[in-house]
Amino acid sequence: MNKSLSEMTNEELWKLFPIVLSEHMSIWKENYLTEKTLIKQTLRPQNIVRINHFGSTSVPGLIAKPTVDILLEIANDTNIEKLKLDIQSIGYIYSEQPENPPPHMMFMKGYTPQGFKEPIYHVHVRYSGDWDELYFRDYLIAHPDVAKEYGKLKVELKKKYEHDRDGYTYAKTDFIRKVTKLARLELKKKWKVK
């Protein structure tokens, strides 16, 4: 009998969904724009503060997991239960993220009991803020040499952590923190919500 995704252990999920890296593909931007439109059509406009494409698929030329990461910033008075239902209605799986900033939510699309089914999306839901991920993205775009260094690091880490997503993510942390600090110095308060 096949297990559903919600019944699988992390180890089973990591085997089914290993770290896969791909050369940069221009379709990722198109996928983001299509999904952004769908999200905007699905949610109440007053709940959306900003929507941004971030992560490696948003940086031209950067090797990446073929997963389009979307940062959905919502208003503080958003009805969270309705938001969950609305996003799930367009094919997303809800994942509570207690370690992430409030409202501690992520939604995933493209994951099946048989493995990945592209396009793959992660929608990270947060209340509006001045998020590091946007500074990191912008810095990599402005500094292709740093993006290339990051790409090399990811290739090395994939060899070690192909079936350990948490290990892969954690091993990138020092590099990301260092670059984000530089980005915040260079970009000042570019992403601060006004």
Q: Give the three-state DSSP class for 112.
A: strand
Q: Return mean pLDDT, the chain.
A: 94
Q: Are 136 and 58 in contact (CB under 8 A)?
A: no
Q: What six digits make up the tokens of 109?
A: 């699309």
Domain assignment present for residue 89? The answer is yes
Q: What is the distance between the alpha carbons of residues 181 and 194, in angstroms, rounded to a whole number?
A: 21
Cβ atoms of 68 and 121 closer than 8 Å: yes
Q: Residue 36, SS3?
A: helix
Predicted structure pTM score: 0.93
Question: Given the structure tokens 């000042």, which residue do they identify?
Answer: 188
110: left (phi over 0), alpha (psi -120 to 50) or beta: left
| Domain assignment present for 192 | no
On whether residue 22 sits in a domain, the answer given is yes
pLDDT computed for residue 13 by the predictor: 78
193: in domain: no
pLDDT for 25-34, tens place per residue? Answer: 999 999 999 9
CA distance 28 to 25: 6
Helix (H, G, I), strand (E, B) or coil at 82: helix
Q: Do strands 67-74 and 115-127 pair parallel, antiparallel, or not at all (unpaired)?
A: parallel
**Per residue in 35-62, pLDDT tens?**
999 999 999 999 999 999 999 999 999 9
| Domain coverage including residue 22 | 5-187
Closest CA to 186 of 150, 136, 130: 136
pLDDT at 9 over 70: yes
Q: Which two tokens stand for residue 143?
A: 């500094």
- Please name the helix (run of DSSP H) or strand (run of DSSP E) that holds residue 69, with its range, or none: strand 67-74
d(CA 164, CA 25): 24
CATH of the domain at 142: 3.30.460.10
> Cα Rg for the chain, rounded, in angstroms?
17
pLDDT tens for each residue of 66-116: 999 999 999 999 999 999 999 999 999 998 888 889 999 999 999 888 888
Three-state DSSP class for 98?
coil
Q: Count the domains in the chain.
A: 1
